[in-house]
Amino acid sequence: MSPDILLTIWLSPSFPVGAFAYSHGLEWAAEAGDVRDEATLVAWLTDLVEHGGAHADAILLAAALRATFSRDSGALREINDLALALAPSSERRLETAQQGRSFHAAIAAAWSKPAVDWAGEILADEIAYPVAVGVACAAHDIPAARACEAFALGFVANLVSAAVRLSVIGQTQGQRALAALAAPVAALGARAAETSLDDLGAASFRSDIASMRHETQYSRLFRS
């Protein structure tokens, strides 16, 4: 099966990882007025793609893919530990760990390969979402650039959907937002495939604060 078909299935909203339940702090950003319309949503998500969580996750995904491909168990553990440690709040850690475990379980049940079982034995406790995706992509020989691009697109598409459900924007505005984010997402995919963990870093402090503030937000639709 072609990589594009696999990525379309794995990173679609219907894949059972529970992504619909998480807003990555966007719910608090909407309440605070940081994200209030199409323009501010695009600006917020562009920052995440270029400097924030999406950027870091794409680098971690590519590193996990390489470690799985070479069967480097020590490197895979290190990458996973780093991915979990980089979560700036308890909700953000829950977001990546829950989705990671759900993704890996679904892949192991329906799309298993020896590399998937190998990684499951090594990361038996917690597995971060980008690491789980990287393992699956390595097992199915999906190129890193294509995997990172599709992952980043799924990341922003989920948050655009969250913005629609929060009534920040309408569905047509959501499509315009995705169109505006296509170029940054494609650039991230190409860039992340060529990076190493030495390039890992983020500078999206307002998003990190949003994830912390969401933990005590009074009225919530989302888990993060």
Domain boundaries, the chain: 25-214
Q: Residue 215 phi/psi, 5° resolution?
A: -60, -30
Instruction: Kindly tell me the sign of the dihedral angle through the C-alpha atoms of 193, 197, 199, 205.
Output: positive
How much is the pLDDT for 3?
87
Q: Which of 174, 175, 177 is closest to 166 using CA atoms?
A: 174
Domain 25-214 has CATH 2.60.40.10: no
Going 40 to 43 to 48 to 51, the CA torsion angle's sign is: negative
In a structure prediction context, what are the per-residue pLDDT tens digits for the chain, which is 224 residues long? 788 999 999 999 889 999 999 999 999 999 999 999 999 999 999 999 999 999 999 999 999 999 999 999 999 999 999 999 999 999 999 999 999 999 999 999 999 999 999 999 999 999 999 999 999 999 999 999 999 999 999 999 999 999 999 999 999 999 999 999 999 999 999 999 999 999 988 889 899 999 999 999 988 999 99
Is the pTM value of this prediction over 0.95? yes
